[in-house]
Chains A and B, each alone.
Chain A
Amino acid sequence: MSETLGTRSRRWSTLALVVGLAGLVLALVLGSARGDAFKRFEHSWLVSCLYFLSISLGGLFFVIIQHLVRAGWSVVVRRVAELVAANTPVTALLFAPLVVLLLRGDSGLWPWGDVAKVHASPLLEGKAAFLDARFFALRCVVYFGIWIFLGRWLLRRSLEQDGAQDAAPTLALERRAAPAMVAFALSINFAAFDILMTLNPTWASTIFGVCFFAGSMISFFALTVLLLRFLQRNALLGKAVRVEHYHDLGKFLFAFVFFWGYVSFSQFMLIWYADLPEETFWYRDRFHGTWLAVSWVLLLGHFVIPFAGLVSRHAKRRLWLLTFWAVWMLCMHALELFWLVMPGAEKDGALVSPVDFACFAAVGGIWFFALARLAGDKPLVPVNDPRLPESLAFENF
C-alpha cells in the first residue's frame, strides 16, 4: 500500500521539464515574432496559468471539504488531491512575470495598467484605488500566500499522520478545516474578480467568482480521474482505488458540470433580462463573429452534452467512458478560460494561435514537473489514516 513514485518521479519530472522548457522557448519566440509587444503572449500565458491554478484550487477545496465533513470514502484518492493542491508555488512563480510587467507600466493584458486611461474614464476613476498596480500585486501575494500555505499545510499534516501513533494530525486537520474553507472561499472569489474580471475593468458580475470556482472543480475532478488512471496503468494504487471511488469522482464531476451550467446561466440570464449597456457589452464581445460559435460550443460542450453523457450510473462506472468525459471536460475548461480571457486580444473573432499551444505546453510541462517532484517518495495513499479501512471497503449503493 505504501507505494511511491520512486525512481519514476525523476523520469517523469525530467520528461515534463523538457516539454515545459521547449514550450517556453517556443512561446517566447512565437510571442515576440508577432510584434504586438507580447500582448497576445500575455493573454495566452494568463489562460495557461489560470488553467493549472484552477486545477490546484479545485484540489484545495476537495481536500478541505473531505476533512470538514470527515469523509471516509475519499481517503485513498486524497493524497493525489493533496499533491495537486500543494502544487501552487510553481504556479505563483509562472504567474509572477505578468504582475511584474503590470508593475512596470504594461497595459497589454490589464487595460487599467495604463494610469492615464483610468483617470480619463469616470467609471474607472471611481475604482482607481482598487485598480492600482501595486495594490493588485499585494493582493496577488495574499491570494497565492493563502493557497500555498493551505496546500502545504494540508499535505504536511497528512504526511505526519502517515507516521503518527494516534489520530492527532487528522483531528487537527478536521478542527481547522472550517476556517481554511472560509479563507479558500474568499480568496478564490476575490482572485477571480481581480485577475479575470478586471480584464474588462468597467464590467462587474457578483457571481463571477462562483463561475470560476465551478470550472476549477470540474477541471480538478477530471484531472484526478486521469491521474489515477495513469498511476494505475503504471501499476500504482492498483489495490487501493477501485471503480467505487471512480464512481464517486464521476458523481462530483457530473454535479459540478451541472453547477457550472447553473451559475453561468444565472449570470447570463440576469444580464440578458436587465439589458443594461454597461453589462451586456461583455456578452456582446463574446457573441461577436466567431466568438458566437465558441459561446455555443461552451453551452453545448461544457454543459448540455456532458450532462447527458454523465447522468447515467453506468457512465461513471465504465472507466473508459469516465476517462473520455474527463478528457472532454479538461478540453472544455481550456476553451472556457480562452473564452473568458482572449476577447481582450482577439476582438474580431476566436483565433487560435500557435502561441496558445506553446504557452500551454510551457506552463503545463513545468507544472507537471513540479507535481512529479513533489510526489517524489511520498506514499500515494495516506497509509495510516484512521479512515483508510472505511475507504478501502467503500461501496456505492
Chain B
Amino acid sequence: MSEAQGALHSLVAEFDDVDGVSAAARAVRDAGYKAFDVYSPFPIHGIERSMGLRATRLPWLVLACGLTGTVLALFFQWWTNGHDYAFKISGKPLFGVPANIPITFEFTVLLAAFGAFFGMFVLNRLPEHHNPLFENERFRRATDDGFFLAIEARDAQFHERATRELLQSLTKHTVVACHESGESRALPVWVRASMAGAGALALVPLAAIVAARYRDSTQAPFHLIKDMDSQTRYRAQAANPFFADGRAQRPDVAGTVEFDRFRTDPALLTGRAGEAFVDQIPLSVTAELMQRGRTRFAVYCTPCHGGAGYGDGLVAQRAATLQEQAFVPPASLHDPLVRARPAGQIFDTIRNGVRSMPAYGRQMSIEDSWAIVAFVRALQRSQNASVEDVPDAERGRLGTR
C-alpha cells in the first residue's frame, strides 16, 4: 500500500468457508452497516437474511412492465384496426377480443422479460467496468475458493479503525484495506462514441419515414415483396387452354338472369325506343342522381376524357407525351357532334363502348350509367352556357367581373 494510491475504498476480510462469512455478515449487519457486500464463488442460501438485505423490487418492476405490455398491445390493436383504419376481417368485430389475445399475451411476456432482464441490470448497477477490489490479488479467489466480506468507506458507520477492529475480530486472516485506483469506472471514450454513433444511425430510418410522410413523390413506391407485381392470373382477353373455347374470360353461363333486376322498360335498359335513341333520361334527375353521376364520372371517365370532359385526361396526356401513333384520342364531350347526340346514345356508348372506348356495362349498374349521362349533360351545358342560363338574381354579379 503505497502513498500513491487514492482514497480508502473499503476494508476486506477473508473467510475460509460459508459459515464463517455468513456469521460475519450477521455481525456486520447487527453492527448497523449498510454499504457492505459478501463475495462467494457460489450462491449462499439465506445470505440475504444474514446481510439484512430487503426483498428485491424486481417482481414489481416485472409486473409493471407486463401490465404495460398488456395495455399497449390491446390499445394499439384497437387503435390500428378498430379505430384509425377500421377494417373488417373475416366478418369479425372490428375489435374482437379473442383475436387480440395472442398478440396481447406475447407482448405482455416480451415486456415482462425485458423488465426482468434489464431491471436486473439496473438494480445490480451493471455493467460495472471496474471495482477497486479487483486490484487485490487475494480477492481473485472469490471466483474459486475464497469467501470475502468488504465494508465500503462510504458507509455512514464507517470508521477506519473501529471497522477494522470489528472485521479483524471475525476472521483469522488479516483484514486488508482497498484503495481507489486511477482506473476510471466510466466507459472508454471509443465505446461511448460508437454507442452514440449507433444510436444516431438507428434514428436514420425513423427520420426517413417521417420525411416520406410529409413529402410528395412522383416515384413508384418501393416493392420489397414482389408477389403482388407478378400475380399468376390471366388478362382479360388472353387465351387459356384450360377451357374448351380457349378463352380466359368466361362468358355468362347460358340462361343467366341478372339477379333482382326483372325490368322490361327498353328505354331504361338500352337507351332506345324501337330503333331510335331516346332523348330523355328515363329516371327522375335529382340532385342525388347528379351527385352520383359526378362521382362515377370521376371514377370511370376522367382518366381519358379529363375532369371537364375535353378529352385531355391523364391517359390521353401520357399518350401524347409518348407520341403513340396508334392511340385514338378520346372525344371531347363538348364537340358539337357529341352535344347533338341524344341521351340514349351516350348511355349506349357507356354501356357498350365505341371505337377504342371499352364497354362499361359490366362494371356499373344501369342507374349509375344514367347518372353519368345526367352529369355529362350538365357538364356540356356548363361549357356552352349563355347569359340566359344564369338565374336573374345572379346575373348582376356577372357584370362586375
Chain A residues engaging chain B, CB cutoff 8 angstroms: 265, 268-269, 272-273, 275, 311-313, 395, 397
Is the Cβ of A269 less than 8 Å from the Cβ of B102? yes
Nearest-neighbor residue (CB-CB) of A269 within chain B: B98
On chain B, the number of residues with a Cβ less than 8 Å from chain A's Cβ atoms is 12
CA distance A395 to B48 in the complex (A): 13
Within 8 Å CB of B101, what residues of A?
265, 269
- B45 at the binding interface (Cβ < 8 Å): yes
Across the A-B interface, the 7 shortest Cβ-Cβ residue pairs? A395-B45, A269-B98, A272-B98, A273-B99, A265-B101, A269-B101, A397-B43
Is the Cβ of B43 less than 8 Å from the Cβ of A313? no
- B233 at the binding interface (Cβ < 8 Å): no
In the complex, how many angstroms separate the beta carbon of B209 from the nearest chain A beta carbon? 32
**Listed residue (B45, B46, B90, B102) with the most chain A CB atoms within 10 angstroms of its CB:** B45
Within 8 Å CB of A313, what residues of B?
59
Within 8 Å CB of B102, what residues of A?
269
Given A311-B63, A397-B43, 13 other A-B residues pairs in contact with their CB atoms under 8 A = A265-B101, A268-B98, A269-B98, A269-B101, A269-B102, A273-B90, A273-B92, A275-B91, A312-B59, A313-B59, A395-B45, A395-B46, A397-B45
Nearest-neighbor residue (CB-CB) of B90 within chain A: A273
CA distance A275 to B63 in the complex (A): 35
In the complex, how many angstroms separate the beta carbon of B177 from the nearest chain A beta carbon? 33
In the complex, how many angstroms separate the beta carbon of B338 from the nearest chain A beta carbon? 53
CA distance A62 to B399 in the complex (A): 98
Chain B residues engaging chain A, CB cutoff 8 angstroms: 43, 45-46, 59, 63, 90-92, 98-99, 101-102
CA distance A268 to B92 in the complex (A): 15
Is the Cβ of B98 less than 8 Å from the Cβ of A273? yes
Within 8 Å CB of B92, what residues of A?
273
Some 7 contacts from A to B, beta carbons below 8 A apart, are A269-B101, A272-B99, A273-B90, A273-B92, A273-B98, A312-B59, A395-B46
In the complex, how many angstroms separate the beta carbon of A328 from the nearest chain B beta carbon? 21
Nearest-neighbor residue (CB-CB) of B105 within chain A: A262
In the complex, how many angstroms separate the beta carbon of B65 from the nearest chain A beta carbon? 14
**Listed residue (A269, A275, A313, A397) with the most chain B CB atoms within 10 angstroms of its CB:** A269
CA distance A66 to B223 in the complex (A): 54
Within 8 Å CB of B46, what residues of A?
395
**Listed residue (A273, A395, A397) with the most chain B CB atoms within 10 angstroms of its CB:** A273
CA distance A273 to B96 in the complex (A): 10
In the complex, how many angstroms separate the beta carbon of B58 from the nearest chain A beta carbon? 11
Nearest-neighbor residue (CB-CB) of A274 within chain B: B90
In the complex, how many angstroms separate the beta carbon of B370 from the nearest chain A beta carbon? 40
Within 8 Å CB of B63, what residues of A?
311
**Listed residue (B90, B92, B98, B102) with the most chain A CB atoms within 10 angstroms of its CB:** B98
CA distance A313 to B101 in the complex (A): 26
In the complex, how many angstroms separate the beta carbon of A95 from the nearest chain B beta carbon? 35
Within 8 Å CB of B91, what residues of A?
275
CA distance A275 to B99 in the complex (A): 12
Within 8 Å CB of A395, what residues of B?
45-46
In the complex, how many angstroms separate the beta carbon of A147 from the nearest chain B beta carbon? 33
Within 8 Å CB of A397, what residues of B?
43, 45
CA distance A397 to B45 in the complex (A): 7
Nearest-neighbor residue (CB-CB) of A262 within chain B: B105
In the complex, how many angstroms separate the beta carbon of B88 from the nearest chain A beta carbon? 14
Nearest-neighbor residue (CB-CB) of A393 within chain B: B45
Within 8 Å CB of B43, what residues of A?
397
Within 8 Å CB of A268, what residues of B?
98
Nearest-neighbor residue (CB-CB) of A273 within chain B: B99
Within 8 Å CB of B98, what residues of A?
265, 268-269, 272-273
CA distance A273 to B91 in the complex (A): 9
CA distance A275 to B89 in the complex (A): 13
CA distance A304 to B102 in the complex (A): 16
CA distance A273 to B45 in the complex (A): 49
CA distance A395 to B49 in the complex (A): 14
Within 8 Å CB of B99, what residues of A?
269, 272-273
CA distance A395 to B102 in the complex (A): 35
Nearest-neighbor residue (CB-CB) of A272 within chain B: B98
CA distance A273 to B63 in the complex (A): 30
CA distance A397 to B48 in the complex (A): 10
CA distance A397 to B92 in the complex (A): 47
Nearest-neighbor residue (CB-CB) of A313 within chain B: B59
CA distance A395 to B99 in the complex (A): 42
CA distance A311 to B63 in the complex (A): 10
Within 8 Å CB of B59, what residues of A?
312-313
In the complex, how many angstroms separate the beta carbon of A292 from the nearest chain B beta carbon? 15
CA distance A312 to B55 in the complex (A): 13
In the complex, how many angstroms separate the beta carbon of B254 from the nearest chain A beta carbon? 33
In the complex, how many angstroms separate the beta carbon of A282 from the nearest chain B beta carbon? 15
Within 8 Å CB of B90, what residues of A?
273, 275
CA distance A311 to B99 in the complex (A): 25
Nearest-neighbor residue (CB-CB) of A397 within chain B: B43
Within 8 Å CB of A312, what residues of B?
59
Within 8 Å CB of A265, what residues of B?
98, 101
CA distance A272 to B59 in the complex (A): 34
In the complex, how many angstroms separate the beta carbon of A42 from the nearest chain B beta carbon? 33
In the complex, how many angstroms separate the beta carbon of B112 from the nearest chain A beta carbon? 11
Within 8 Å CB of A272, what residues of B?
98-99
Within 8 Å CB of B45, what residues of A?
395, 397
In the complex, how many angstroms separate the beta carbon of A187 from the nearest chain B beta carbon? 30
Within 8 Å CB of A269, what residues of B?
98-99, 101-102
Within 8 Å CB of A275, what residues of B?
90-91
In the complex, how many angstroms separate the beta carbon of B48 from the nearest chain A beta carbon? 10
In the complex, how many angstroms separate the beta carbon of A276 from the nearest chain B beta carbon? 12
In the complex, how many angstroms separate the beta carbon of A381 from the nearest chain B beta carbon? 22
In the complex, how many angstroms separate the beta carbon of A337 from the nearest chain B beta carbon? 24
Within 8 Å CB of A311, what residues of B?
63
CA distance A269 to B105 in the complex (A): 13
CA distance A311 to B98 in the complex (A): 23
CA distance A382 to B121 in the complex (A): 42
CA distance A268 to B96 in the complex (A): 13
